[in-house]
Structure formats: C-alpha cells, structure tokens
Chains A and B, each alone.
Chain A
Amino acid sequence: MISKEYIIMDSQGIHARPAASLIKLTKNYKSTFDLKKDDKTIRLNSMLNILSMGIKGGETIAVLIDGEDEVVAAEAIDTFFTELGKMIKN
C-alpha cells in the first residue's frame, strides 16, 4: 500500500469539479483508493463522500492506494494534484 500526503492549494478546497475528475481517474486502475482527512477515511468512488468531507484550501489530506498497479496509480494521483495547482508535501 502507498500513502501520499497533499496540501490543498486551491482556496476553494476540493469542490465538485476536481472531485469528479478524481473519481474518473481512479476508475482507470485496479487499485483501491481511500481518502483520509484527520481521522475520517472514505473510499474514493463517491462524490457525495468526497464533498461531505468538506476539504478546504490549505488543509492536508492523505490518499491511500492499494493494489497490483498501485505504483503507477500513485504517480497518476501525484500528477493530478500537481496539475490542479496543489503542492506535494511528501
């Protein structure tokens, strides 16, 4: 399993648009994706769940990737957050 931490550098946080693209991205891989903020973890397949986390700009989140293609999947997640103008912490 791979764990990645990100600081959300968008002042609006993770809103509908990035949440939808994030879900679309995870569908390309066999691995499972979980998103963790503070002590709450959700499966990265539901817009409702992502949005209900209420992730705001400047907050730190972790993405946990598990599965046979986790290495390439983690790279894709990295690219996703970088491309959205977000800064990689670890």
Chain B
Amino acid sequence: MNGIGVSPGISLGIARILKTNSATLTGILLNDEAAILAHIKHFDDAVISAVSEVNDLIKQHTNADGIEILETQVEFLSDPQLRDDVVEQISIHKKNVNDALIASIAQTVQTFESMYDEFMRARAADIKDIGNRILKHLNNAPSDHITPYGPDTIVIAEDISPSDTITMDLKHVIGIATQVGSKTSHAAIIAKSKGLPAVVGCGNELAIIKDGDFIILDGSTGMVLVNPDQQTILDYTQKRSDFAENISLLKQLKDVEPITTDGTAIILSGNISNADDLDDVFDYGGQGVGLMRTELLFMNRNSFPTENEQFDFYKKTALKAKGKPVIVRTIDIGGDKQLAYFNLPVEENPFLGYRAIRICLDRTDLFITQLKAILRASIFGDLKIMFPMIASIQEVRQAKTILQQAKEELAQAGQAFNDAIEIGIMIEIPSAAITADLLATEVDFFSIGTNDLCQYTLAVDRMNEKISHLYDPFNPGVLRLIDNVISQANKNNIHVGMCGELASDPLATLLLMGMGLKDFSMSASSIPAIKQIIINNNLSKAKEIYNAVLAMDNSADILNYLQHTI
C-alpha cells in the first residue's frame, strides 16, 4: 500500500499497533441550574488536573522539542475560548460536561481542518489531543504510561498525537506509519527530528496490519509492505544500506562550501516549483534558487490567477528564501504545457510555436499582471526576473519596456517594489546563444537552459522516442554554443548560470567549469553529487578537460574521455 513519505529512509521491522481511545457521546441533558454549575466546575477541575499532569511531564522531560510541544498543550488546555465554548454548551444547550467538551472540540477541529494553510490544518491534531486529555481527567482514567516496545518496532497508528510523541518509547522504534496525516502532522515532525523513516496518510488499508506482522517501510516513496517474501526483504536490506551511505555523504557535504581545491567558489542552487521546494534545496545544501518555475501557479484551476494570488505565491517564496537569491522565470506555457482555461489552438509544431515570452509579448495584460505581482513581492527578499524563450534582442527590449510600465503603474498606485530588481534571460534558442554578445548589453544575467537549447540546436524533438538517441548535449555543436554564451557573459561582466539537465550531470561539471561557468542550478537532490566533484578538483584540471574536449570532433569520444577522466 502507499501513503505520503514524510521522512526518508527504509525500515524493516515488526508492527506494533498504537491504539487510540475514541470519545463517545452520552446524550444525557442537564435539567437544573445546580447540575449546570456542577458540570462547569467538573470541567474546570479536569482542566486543572490535566494542566498539572502536563506540567509534571515537562519536569521529567529533557528534550527541548518535547518541552515545547507540552508547553503549547498547557496553553491549549487552559484556553479561555475553549472554556467559553464548553460553558455555552453546558449552560445554554444543557449538555453534560462530556458531551459539551466533545462538541466544542469537534467544532474547533473543524475550523482548523478547513483552513487553507497546511500547517494550520495540522493543528487540528493538537486540538483533538487536548480534548482527549481533558476527557481522560473527566473520567478519572489512569495517566499516560510509557509502553515499552521490543527491538525493531514499526509503530502503526491511525494518527500520532502530540501526547503520543512524548510518551512513546522511541528507543526501539525504527519507523512510523499512520492512516491520516500530512507533511506537517506530528508524526512527520517527530519522525524527521529523530531521523525515523515515516509514511503518513496510508488510509484505512493500514488497519489490516496486525501486531507482529513483518513490515517494510520506505519513507522516501511512501510505500508500506506487509509480510513480504524473502527476496523482497533482501532487496530492501540492500536499499537500506545504500540509503545510509548516501545520507552520510549528504551530512558530510551539507555545510561544506562548494569551493575547488585551488579556491574557486562555485554557486550551487536549486530549481523549484513552489515555496515548499525550498526546504529540500536548503536541506541538500543549496545556496539559493537558480530557477523558480511559475507554471504550477497557473495549473489545476479554472481561470488565470489574480495579481494578489500570484503576489502571495512569490512573496511566500521570497520570505522562505530568507534573503537568498531566487530567480523567478515568467510563465512558460505553450509547447507541451497547456492550460485548460486558456484556449491555445493545436499547432503542428508546438515547440516552434506560440509559447512562453511570445504569448506574454502578445497578451501584455497577462504579462503585466505577473510582472506586477513579482515586483511587489520583491521587497520581501532577493527576487530576480527571468524571461524564457528569447530569440532576439527586440524581444528583450520589448519585455523590458513592459516591465518598466508595470513599475510605473505600481509607483502611481503607491505600492512598494525593488526598483533595482535584476533582469535576465534564458538562453535556450540557438540564435540567442550565438548573439550572446549582443544580448549581454541588455540584461544582468543569463541562464542557460540546456534541454531546449539541445533540442533546437540538433533539431531533435525531446518527446519523440524514436530519435531520443540523437538528443545529445555532448554534441560539439551544442557545447560550442554553451561555450560562447559563458565566455561572452564573462567578457561583458554579466552573471551566467545554467539551470538545465546538464547542470546536474556529473560528467559535465568540470567541462563547464573549464568554460568559465561558476553557477549551477539543479533539482535539490543532485546538489551533493555535484558538490563532491567540485571540492575534489581544481580549475586547472577543469581547463585541461575543456581544452581536450575542444579538440574532439564527436560526442562518443567526448563522453568516453569524460568517463575515464572523472
């Protein structure tokens, strides 16, 4: 079965089911004022005794995260709003204290579950948890005790409450799987902080697991296997040790600066599609964002996002990046990326058609909305704007004119923005690569998009499997174009980076550095492997590789050489 992998790693172990007591309504109504007062007092006493129980737990606790969860619980337990709600249920609706509490908690849980923010939605679990704790004290149930687990325990639960995470004996726990939950639920947080593989949101299927079942858990893919065969167990034992090796490499490298042995500093950043992807970028040691795609913002909806919706999206990213640079690419729709609500006619050659900047320069209304949203968000961090699919200098000038117009409109409306925001272009069309010297006079930076540059240069459709062997970024023609872009950028003192696949190809790293590239952007998980190459090599070796490759006339020789040199 499958859930959401929230804490990576592989566990093989024995299932232990964590049971939760569910509250039941009694339906008993109160019939006089004395009973009402008695039930309110009963509630207050239960809260006092619950608070003192949690305070005792705090005293026994040494782990700072745990203490914080418990202190938050104390605040929730003695919350005046909760008391107001319960008192209202008792005195106006005449419910007994048990039912009044269950109703109040259910109401509050619903408020949180319907919230837009995933983090806030996850707080519903805290509310349920304090409800259960007060109920327990209302019923004089025994206090929490720590259940000892045997070695290699995988905890299986409907959900893990904050209290569970405190009272659980984690010493022997090697994994967690839950029926409900998300990336921000307590199970996920506790598992991540302890480095335990965890899968949440597996659904009701998880209930088929019984105490003592043999479980394999893959916290990266979200897979859960019950009583697998011997071969599967062997396979996953191997995977588990591979993973451990990778993690140790990652840990060693995370805070290491990507500097060559002769002191050349390289920038490694991540490609992202939304603010949340930044977590991975920073976890893997990335230094910023070399490419933020904005298409996600336009997909899975029925109309274009408004300026404010877009503003929220960019602002969230800017804040989360905490001052690190983020290159925002303006919308790159058309080609293979279509929008349901934007009727683009079917084209014979969509990759050579109406797409990206060509749509933006035609539909300036859409373009200016996006530019204004990015500009407004630019005061919250270091955002830069990048235009995709540039083929000529006129297009750059046109785009800049529209950007200027966006700035003027914002200024007139009294809205703040970073007037000095840097502007760059994607180099992904051969004409742009060849005229890099001209384009360099108009922009602050280039970013080389190798995927499209390769398909346009070689006239090879990336989507056509029949000719996929012809798609070859090591073709000398492609390499010469890349070389020209990098050297022209350096000659004109503008910044140059690469955000296409080639940036994450370990075979290409030194060759590109030899060309003079110092800025690589890739998917977060590729960063450690590239960093490993950088810190173990120097610029003169990179130059040597570059000169050798330059003398070769075909990609087979080039690849063979690179494979044997690196």
Contact = CB atoms under 8 A, between A and B. Distances in A.
Interface stretch (B91-99, B116-124, B200-208, B388-396): B116-124
- Of listed A10, A11, A13, A46, residue having the most chain B CB within 10 A: A11
A16 B72 contact: yes
B312 A58 contact: yes
Closest 5 CB pairs of A and B: A46-B81, A11-B319, A11-B320, A58-B315, A48-B81
Interface string A1-34: 0000000011111011101100100000000000
A interface bracket (residues with beta carbon within 8 Å of B): 20 to 34
B411 interface: no
Given A9-B380, A15-B120, 9 more contacts: A15-B123, A19-B75, A20-B75, A47-B76, A47-B79, A48-B127, A54-B115, A56-B316, A58-B316
B81 to A, nearest CB: 4
A16 to B, nearest CB: 5
A90 interface: no
Interface string B85-108: 000000000000000000000001
Interface of B: 68, 71-72, 75-76, 79-82, 108, 111-112, 115-117, 119-120, 123, 126-127, 275, 312, 315-316, 319-320, 380
A46 B169 CA distance: 32
Contact of A57 (B75, B82, B112, B319): B319
Contacts of A9: 319, 380
20 contacts: A9-B380, A10-B319, A11-B319, A12-B119, A15-B120, A17-B72, A20-B72, A46-B80, A47-B76, A47-B79, A48-B76, A48-B127, A49-B81, A51-B123, A52-B108, A54-B115, A56-B312, A56-B316, A57-B319, A58-B319
Interface in A42-67: 43, 45-49, 51-52, 54, 56-58
A17 B123 CA distance: 12
A16 B72 CA distance: 7
A61 B80 CA distance: 22
Contacts of B81: 46, 48-49
B315 A57 contact: yes
A9 B319 CA distance: 7
A46 B315 CA distance: 28
Contacts of A45: 80
B125 to A, nearest CB: 11
Nearest to B108: A48
Contact of A51 (B116, B120, B315, B320): B120
Contact of A54 (B76, B116, B316): B116
Contacts of A15: 119-120, 123
A52 B82 CA distance: 12
B117 A54 contact: yes
Contacts of A43: 80
Nearest to B314: A58
A48 B319 contact: no
B138 to A, nearest CB: 19
Contacts of B315: 57-58
B281 to A, nearest CB: 14
Nearest to B380: A58
Nearest to B116: A54
Contacts of B79: 46-48
Contacts of B119: 12-13, 15
